Chains A and B, each alone.
Chain A
């Protein structure tokens, strides 16, 4: 089973500290992989401008790197910063890691006239084009994200071992928000693209447990014909795409994500203040109902974090921390490891109807219940 850890703090911290927390939960994974997502970045060697897009991925060969360079040049991107990890190749399990990519670019001149939606679309399309290019060349180029303020690292091995092999303890990268997932989804074979957290246009989630309703959900998402809804090497990727669909395509509040993946029962909705709308919503998004057992932890572009459970709550999940610093983990010991100094009596484990939300100010966590009205949307 996957182990999940998320830490968010007003003060940037080293992602290595989250990897150390993963050690506390090591009984729960098999060391087959790590996925790491960083938001709110700070570099020791570089003064990062928050709007610049960052490439995260792996060039497996020199030739792939050259292709990437010429592709980006052709598109009009200029390289502003190329982060060199202090890689210790002797500690890297996989043999074909030519270069771990963390590259910051300037937007092409022509994009200056594009509005926000267009830029978001073009960023996604650029990443997808390169991903396809890598796939067409025996997978020699793996790309996890191309987005401002987001870095993703995915690798095979033990989380702490990967942190050591990439020199993440050197404090050259810090972040205000780190999401980490230990263990690849081994049910579906080792594949870097199968590793959580998944990311699409600013939206990210990671999950533990298996998604039993994977195929119908995947088929529906693919039917939407949105270019970013691809991949699905892991059954957990659909959780990210459902969130993306909810807030980016339907433009509904985050809370509605919970109503979509685990709708209330008919008799419960009959008494709900927004019941009429929600019943209709349940019907139209019926194919996106998850069946668990899952705990989903996610974050948004503005550094909002959340945790939800499936309806049966067969997976654990704990939130704890203090003002300015919060942690979410699939195990209580993970929260302990990330924020040992806290009032444990305030820890919370969400029930089937809850969504725990930590807003970007990080003052508190909010426990929202599906039985309560969600923030008014124009149609509800």
Chain B
């Protein structure tokens, strides 16, 4: 045995099997072109030179010699900062399939070491759990003999939903008779591109999404809307006729709202809605967290801040003393800003207190909806502990709120929108329709949009998830032109169209066998079942096995 000092070991020393992803490099295929090392977002790999001793023993002459072979190869860095994140860009660019990251099948040690320098782990993505209750909800009420099943390909389907406060029929008739104000509503597609800010996302991503959304609306007749997230909206969009497809978000940092308010007189149309973010499923109790490296010149201008400074939004709105006051002040003043023509609704993170918020909104005549964001929601940046360990699953939270409204006969008056984990494992329509049948008027999808539309590589195995660092290898969440130029806005727009067309078809394929075509089956809880008795009881749906 050698003495311990001769081995380079420190408390932070790690080796390949301690890291979540291990680079598998096939040396005899490598051309040493260097593409993998240059594309790697964390510089986890480098070109290394090695020397190999080759002993040569001559038994007959009782002689021994040593020769050396020198060779070059790709090596993995072993420190936490330069760990491989499993994005797989190296394999994507390798001309000879010589390199790929492999998920470490041992228990990796990353979580024990990632807070180097005392900084708790921050990342992008969503809760690192692949479980999805929504995936287990299936549609069980099939029309066959008691009723003819519908033809998803030939029947006419009404798939849209309503965003906005809806009066009781009695109140509607009364106000119509007296010529009084009727709250604004929007007829929209029930799958909404959820809040992802201009700042969190690259300009090319944003542009592509907007192009795709406009095409869906104006050519395909699918009234898709998208939300901005905190961080304003480019002035050319604010003053364009496309603003009607945009839900403008105001959050606790109020970033970008100077620009928005100033643009009001020049707006050609009203925005789809205003979303007031009080909470976010991925990081309940936290505000936005745009780090300095993403605050480019453009972002700084949009948000009205200096360039290259951290932009942590406060956890709560500064004006917020109580929910009553918040509802009074914010919902009413934002409604007033657009002459009470635009729906204004709050977004909260899933929580035990969601029902209290809801009941408050019911009594507020200006509140247009409630968006609840569950624990599986994604984010561009948050503390890992917030993402993994805080929040409330959307299914039961939404269901409780819907049944609470139904008990009051108000389930049509305040539309509930659900978010957080819709399409987590790719089953976006199934998940969304399950939530709709549990009582949602529509669902917001964010992470799925990035994954499906822009090719985001993030996963719940903690793959990639470096959106917060501005080094997104696909150029989706980076403000670095070298990176975001990898993303072609036209191709993003094409994928928006692909995704929404497919969702539309899948919605019909779900609704047709249920015998539904004339209205979105909101709250049609008799149509769904789950193979988990406890979950079925909690959600008040059928237990199936």
Contacts and interface: CB of A to CB of B under 8 A. Distances in A.
B148 interface: yes
The majority secondary structure among interface residues of chain A is: loop
B254 interface: no
B407 to A, nearest CB: 7
A213 B524 contact: yes
B182 interface: yes
Contact of A293 (B158, B166, B412, B515): B515
Contacts of B81: none
Contacts of B169: 245, 250, 281, 284-285
Nearest to B178: A379
B162 A215 contact: no
Contacts of A265: 158
B412 A215 contact: no
B157 to A, nearest CB: 10
Contacts of A284: 166-169, 172, 412
B519 A286 contact: yes
Contact of A220 (B148, B162, B411, B514): B411
Nearest to B146: A210
B229 to A, nearest CB: 28
A283 B185 CA distance: 9
B148 A293 contact: yes
B523 A216 contact: yes
Nearest to A187: B146
A214 B173 CA distance: 25
Interface in B514-537: 514-519, 521-527
Interface residues of B, number: 41
B177 interface: yes
The majority secondary structure among interface residues of chain B is: loop
Contacts of A286: 162, 166, 412, 519
A150 to B, nearest CB: 27
Contact of A289 (B170, B172, B514, B518): B518
A162 to B, nearest CB: 24
Contacts of B143: 210, 212
B155 A312 contact: yes
Nearest to B158: A265
B162 to A, nearest CB: 6
Interface residues of A, number: 41
A250 B170 contact: yes
B147 A223 contact: no
A194 interface: no
Nearest to A262: B518
A314 interface: yes
B170 A378 contact: no
B176 interface: yes
Q: Which of B167, B176, B177 has the most CB of A within 10 A?
A: B176
A292 interface: yes
Given A215-B524, A250-B169, A291 B519 contact: yes
Interface in A74-91: none
B248 interface: no
B355 interface: no
Interface string A207-250: 00110111110011011110000000000000000000100011
Q: Which of A212, A219, A378 has the most CB of B within 10 A?
A: A212
A21 interface: no
Interface string B2-32: 0000000000000000000000000000000
A216 B409 contact: no
14 contacts: A213-B516, A215-B525, A219-B406, A220-B411, A222-B409, A223-B411, A277-B176, A280-B172, A283-B166, A284-B167, A284-B172, A286-B166, A293-B148, A379-B176
Given A287-B411, A289-B519, 15 more contacts: A213-B516, A215-B526, A219-B523, A220-B411, A222-B409, A225-B409, A280-B176, A281-B169, A283-B162, A286-B412, A287-B523, A291-B515, A291-B517, A312-B150, A312-B517
Interface of A: 187, 209-210, 212-216, 219-220, 222-225, 245, 249-250, 252, 262, 265-266, 277, 280-281, 283-287, 289-293, 310-312, 314, 378-380
Interface of B: 141, 143, 146-148, 150, 155, 158, 162, 166-170, 172-173, 176-177, 182, 185, 187, 406-412, 514-519, 521-527
Closest 5 CB pairs of A and B: A223-B409, A212-B515, A289-B519, A379-B176, A284-B172
